[in-house]
């Protein structure tokens, strides 16, 4: 009997050994009961899009990793104004920059109104259905024939940069194609070269380098590779943008802070919170009914560094007061925790006076709709 048990134990061990971390990860994910949702603020076209170029692909970000087959085969549909389905090709990827689906119509869209639906057949790795179902209507506009251009660089050229700063952010004037953009970046001084990882996040390249800078060194930033927008317009970075430099200075020990009070929009079961920080920072919310002690992982688009932050909390209890704190971390790793704020959800069945559409908090500014 003991011999038989030993054989069984060895067999189980071999299963774990062969499956590795992915098996354990799947076991852990089976405890996930949170419904995934579309991050409207990062997606295009979205609730803020009046018109959209008819030659552009459509890009949608999710709050967590999804089952690729479900997304590709039956999770997304595109209809014209006659409710006729448009043939589409759906590509899906999950990277450190987020989980996203790229929707390519099989033909260039005509002038008119179209509706994109992301259905509950779109599920996360634990099988949770998309909630709410995402539906967005948009009108097409003229073809986009302009290549993307850089609108800001952080750190700025010729600036003094704390040695513990760990990121370079190159922002463009439009959302980039995360599949076909091939960015490269070189960071070096006369005596130092620093490696790192570069991600395409919404309208930006974010280069995260692996260690601190050397104080008083002058570093040169060289952009290489290609950038491409959703209409297929591309540019060779090294040909269009000259190198630029910055100087490494003393460490930054000053945490970010909020610029003004947060704005909130509530329904009976959800709240949308908007706030700003005085510098680029990652951010999340801690909240609870009695104390602000529940960690809430923010959407993937906000795990990148922003100055304008939008967070949605769902699954709340109606007619209930919640307390929350905001936590933000800057490019140098300095962390800020706000004082405690509160909001109260509406009574069950109450219709909010503002549109009930996840991420419409983008339009909410100090209590007024823009």
DSSP of 241-261, one letter per residue?
Answer: S--EEEEEESPP-PPP-BSS-
Whether 308 and 331 map to the same domain: the answer is yes
Residue 254 lies in a domain: no
pLDDT higher than threshold 70 for residue 362? no
Of 65-69, 204-208, 364-368, least confident by mean pLDDT is 364-368
Residue 34 lies in a domain: no
More confident residue, 364 or 306: 306
Phi first, then psi: give them for residue 269, nearest 5 degrees: -130, 0
pLDDT higher than threshold 70 for residue 368? no
Domain with 217 in it: what CATH number?
A: 2.60.40.1220
Pairing outcome for strands 182-188 and 218-228: antiparallel
Q: Once rounded to an integer, what is the mean pLDDT over residues 93-101? A: 87
Q: Cβ neighbours of residue 354 under 8 Å, at least 6 residues apart?
A: 265, 360, 364, 369
The mean pLDDT of the chain is 82
pLDDT tens digit sequence for 314-346: 778 899 999 999 999 988 889 999 999 999 999
Task: Quote the pLDDT of residue 57.
Answer: 96
Of 81-95, 102-116, 164-178, 285-299, least confident by mean pLDDT is 285-299
Task: Quote the pLDDT of residue 49.
Answer: 67
Task: Quote the pLDDT of residue 306.
Answer: 79
Task: Quote the pLDDT of residue 280.
Answer: 86
- Among residues 141, 161, 191, the one where a domain terminates is 141
Task: Quote the pLDDT of residue 25.
Answer: 45
- Paired tokens of 31: 């405890």
pLDDT tens digit sequence for 125-163: 999 998 878 888 999 999 999 999 999 999 999 999 999
- Among residues 249, 272, 290, the one where a domain terminates is 249
pLDDT tens digit sequence for 176-185: 999 999 999 9
pLDDT band at 30 (very low <50, low <70, confident <90, very high): low
Phi first, then psi: give them for residue 275, nearest 5 degrees: -160, 165
3-state DSSP assignment of residue 20: helix
Residue 335 lies in a domain: yes
Domain carrying residue 188: 150-249
pTM over the 0.75 mark: no
Task: Quote the pLDDT of residue 110.
Answer: 94
Residue 229 lies in a domain: yes
Distance CA(86)–CA(89), nearest Å, equals: 10
pLDDT band at 370 (very low <50, low <70, confident <90, very high): very low
**Cα distances (angstroms) measured from residue 48 to each of 42, 51, 98, 139, 220:** 11, 9, 21, 12, 38
Element (H, E) at 338: none
Contact at 8 Å (CB) between 279 and 167? no
Whether 212 and 123 map to the same domain: the answer is no
- Paired tokens of 208: 């995260």
Q: Once rounded to an integer, what is the mean pLDDT over residues 272-292? A: 84
Residue 193 lies in a domain: yes
Pairing outcome for strands 306-313 and 335-337: unpaired
Whether 283 and 356 map to the same domain: the answer is yes
- Among residues 111, 141, 171, the one where a domain terminates is 141
Q: Once rounded to an integer, what is the mean pLDDT over residues 235-258? A: 92
pLDDT higher than threshold 70 for residue 196? yes
User: How long a stretch of residues is the chain?
Assistant: 370
Distance CA(227)–CA(22), nearest Å, equals: 33
Residue 369 lies in a domain: no
Closest CA to 315 of 281, 359, 271: 271
Q: Once rounded to an integer, what is the mean pLDDT over residues 8-18? A: 49
pLDDT higher than threshold 60 for residue 198? yes
Distance CA(32)–CA(128), nearest Å, equals: 8
pLDDT higher than threshold 80 for residue 11? no
Q: Once rounded to an integer, what is the mean pLDDT over residues 211-228? A: 94
Task: Quote the pLDDT of residue 131.
Answer: 82
Pairing outcome for strands 160-162 and 244-249: parallel
Residue 368 lies in a domain: no
Whether 211 and 282 map to the same domain: the answer is no
- Paired tokens of 278: 């005085």
Task: Quote the pLDDT of residue 262.
Answer: 93
């Amino acid at each position: 009997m003991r011999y038989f048990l030993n054989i069984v134990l060895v067999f189980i061990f071999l299963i774990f050994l062969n499956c590795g971390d992915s098996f354990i990860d799947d076991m852990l994910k089976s405890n996930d009961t949170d419904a995934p949702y579309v991050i409207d603020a990062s997606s295009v076209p979205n609730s803020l899009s009046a018109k959209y170029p008819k030659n552009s692909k459509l890009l949608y970000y999710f709050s967590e990793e999804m089952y690729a087959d479900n997304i590709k085969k039956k999770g997304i549909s595109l209809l014209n104004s006659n409710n006729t389905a448009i043939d589409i090709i759906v590509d899906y990827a999950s990277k450190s920059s987020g989980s996203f689906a790229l929707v390519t119509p099989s033909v260039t869209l005509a002038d008119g109104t179209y509706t994109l639906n992301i259905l509950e057949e779109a599920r996360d790795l634990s099988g949770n259905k998309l909630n709410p179902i995402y539906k967005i209507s948009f009108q097409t506009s003229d073809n986009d024939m302009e290549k993307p251009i850089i609108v800001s660089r952080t750190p700025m050229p010729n600036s003094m940069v704390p040695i513990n700063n760990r990121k370079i952010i190159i922002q463009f004037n439009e959302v980039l194609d995360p599949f076909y953009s091939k960015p490269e970046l070189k960071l070096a001084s006369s005596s130092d070269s620093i490696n790192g990882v570069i991600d395409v996040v919404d309208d930006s390249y974010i280069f995260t380098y692996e260690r601190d800078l050397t104080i008083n060194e002058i570093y040169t930033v060289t952009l290489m590779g290609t950038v491409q927008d959703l209409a297929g317009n591309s540019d060779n970075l090294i040909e269009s943008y000259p190198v630029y430099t910055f100087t490494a200075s003393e460490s930054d020990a000053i945490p970010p802070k909020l610029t003004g009070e947060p704005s909130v929009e509530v329904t009976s079961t959800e709240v949308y919170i908007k706030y700003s920080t005085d510098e680029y920072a990652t951010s999340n919310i801690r909240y609870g009914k009695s104390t602000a002690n529940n960690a809430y992982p923010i959407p993937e688009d906000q795990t990148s560094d922003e100055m304008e932050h939008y967070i949605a909390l769902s699954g709340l209890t109606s007619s209930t007061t919640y307390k929350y704190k905001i936590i933000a971390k800057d490019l140098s790793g300095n962390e800020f925790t706000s004082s405690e704020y509160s909001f109260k959800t509406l009574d069950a069945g109450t219709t909010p006076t503002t549109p009930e559409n996840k991420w419409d908090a983008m339009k909410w500014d100090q209590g007024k709709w823009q």
